[in-house]
Amino acid sequence: MKYAMCLGGLLGFVVIFATSLVAGKPPVDSLVHASIGSIVIGLLFRWVSLIWIRNVKQMLMEKQQAAVAAIAEAEERKRQEAKNPVVKPA
């Protein structure tokens, strides 16, 4: 989580600082804008990473539940076949 926030903060700072300088703002104003942008974009990256991690955990849980259900179904099918053996004509 903190890696995403740090990455977002660094990215936000660089992009907004460069954009402000290219737009013709003085370096001091660009630094202030970049500092504010760093905080905002860092928080945005943190929020997005939280959502992404939650969705990955949910997907893995659903896959595990599907695998357990498939194993249980296969075992039940084996039990049914053991009870009622099918005789194939020769």
Q: What is the pTM of this model?
A: 0.68
Residue whose pair of structure tokens reads 């740090």 in the numeric block: 6
Residue with tokens 């703002």: 25
Angstrom distance (rounded) from CA 12 to CA 10 = 5
Tens digits of pLDDT across the chain (90 residues):
788 999 999 999 999 999 999 999 999 999 999 999 999 999 999 999 999 999 999 999 999 999 999 999 999 998 888 888 766 666
Determine the Cα–Cα distance for residues 51 and 5; give it in Å rounded to an integer: 13
Cα–Cα dist 81/50, whole Å? 47
In Å, the largest CA–CA distance within the chain is 93
